[in-house]
Amino acid sequence: MTEGRTRIKITLAGAYVYYFDAWVGDLTGQEAILGMDFMVPAGIRLDLADGSLCLPDERKLETDHVRPTR
């Protein structure tokens, strides 16, 4: 099993490039999500009720999730 830290490059919408350090380890049975500690300093806002995220230039992207029926 490999564990440690690495620097990851993320490109959003083909134009916004961000680098951040992440811990690497065994995530068996778990889901990994990009944390708010990365998104807030990068100027990204999540709207979970609407299913979208807003980039620093106010461009809105729809997330790829299914909304539950009420």
The total number of structural domains in the chain stands at 1
d(CA 32, CA 57): 26
Say if 46 falls within a structural domain.
yes
pTM: 0.40
Q: 21 is in which domain, residue-wise?
A: 4-26+36-62
Say if 8 falls within a structural domain.
yes
More confident residue, 18 or 63: 18
Instruction: Using alpha carbons, list the distances in angstroms from residue 23 to 5, 27, 28, 39, 61.
Output: 4, 11, 15, 16, 27
Say if 16 falls within a structural domain.
yes
Say if 20 falls within a structural domain.
yes
pLDDT per position as a tens digit, 26-70: 767 766 555 667 677 778 887 777 778 888 888 887 776 555 555
